């Protein structure tokens, strides 16, 4: 069964074009904190970053659920892509990304959607999902106590 991965692996322009599409955040917070908020966002962010291992496990479990229904292609370096890694390896990829602050990229399905994790953030970014994928990711995130919010347009 062909998935179009050969084309994706050879054409980094596809990844770059996905990064320009509308995106949603898979986050520990239910919505964006407004600029100038009276709350303690930066203190809360430092606190949550001390729990980054636990948060990255939640992200991995979201993707493990997603991988039951969609092919996932995972890359840490943006050049080598591995199709449908085992759940244990996927968890290790998130742990390694969090420890090294290296980005993790995940192409979903035929490569029309992309999920990224920066390794030192408390959120993942979902680019270009169709409505069905977005709703499913919301369900998977909710099972982990996470939120999906957006859309956000890249700044010009």
State how far the Cα of 124 lies from the Cα of 52, in Å rounded to an integer. 12
Structure confidence at residue 153 (pLDDT): 53
What is the residue-level pLDDT of the chain in tens, covering all 156 positions? 445 544 444 446 778 889 999 999 999 999 988 888 888 888 888 888 787 778 888 999 999 999 999 999 998 877 788 999 999 999 888 888 888 888 899 999 988 999 999 877 889 999 999 999 999 999 999 999 999 999 655 554
Domain range for residue 55?
A: 5-31+41-152
**Interaxial angle between packed helices 41-49 and 52-67, expressed in degrees from 0 to 180 and rounded to the nearest 10:** 70
* Element of type H or E holding 58: helix 52-67
Per-residue pLDDT, 138 = 98
53 within domain boundaries: yes
Sheet containing 23-27: give its strands across: 82-83, 72-75, 104-108, 113-117, 123-127, 23-27, 147-152
Residue at 14 is within a domain = yes
Residues contacting residue 127 through CB under 8 Å, at least 6 positions apart: 18, 19, 21, 22, 23, 113, 114, 115, 116
Q: Domains in the chain: how many in total?
A: 1
| Domain presence at residue 143 | yes
Bridge-partner residues for 125, per DSSP? 25, 116
In a domain, 75, yes or no: yes
Cα(102)–Cα(116) distance, integer angstroms: 11
Residue 36 lies in a domain: no
pLDDT of res. 85: 93
- Amino acid 96: pLDDT: 85
CA distance linking residue 114 with residue 117, whole number of Å = 10
8 Å CB contact between 26 and 137: yes
pLDDT of residue 141: 98
Nearest-angstrom CA–CA distance, 143 and 154: 28
The interaxial angle of helices 87-100 and 52-67, nearest 10 deg, is: 140
Q: Does residue 59 lie within any of the structural domains? A: yes
Q: Is residue 72 domain-resident?
A: yes
Q: Is residue 24 part of a domain?
A: yes
């Amino acid at each position: 069964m062909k998935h179009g991965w050969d084309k994706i692996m050879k054409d980094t322009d596809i990844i770059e074009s996905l990064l320009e599409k509308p995106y949603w955040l898979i986050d520990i917070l239910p919505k964006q904190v407004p600029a100038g908020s009276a709350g303690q966002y930066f203190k809360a962010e430092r606190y949550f970053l001390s729990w980054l291992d636990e948060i990255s496990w939640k992200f991995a479990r979201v993707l493990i659920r997603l991988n039951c229904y969609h092919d996932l292609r995972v890359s840490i370096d943006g050049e080598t892509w591995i199709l449908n890694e085992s759940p244990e390896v996927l968890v290790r990829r998130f742990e390694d990304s969090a420890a090294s602050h290296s980005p993790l990229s995940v192409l979903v399905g035929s490569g029309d959607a992309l999920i990224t994790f920066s390794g030192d953030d408390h959120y993942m970014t979902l680019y270009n999902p169709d409505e069905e994928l977005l709703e499913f990711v919301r369900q998977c995130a909710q099972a982990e106590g996470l939120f999906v919010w957006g859309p956000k347009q890249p700044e010009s």
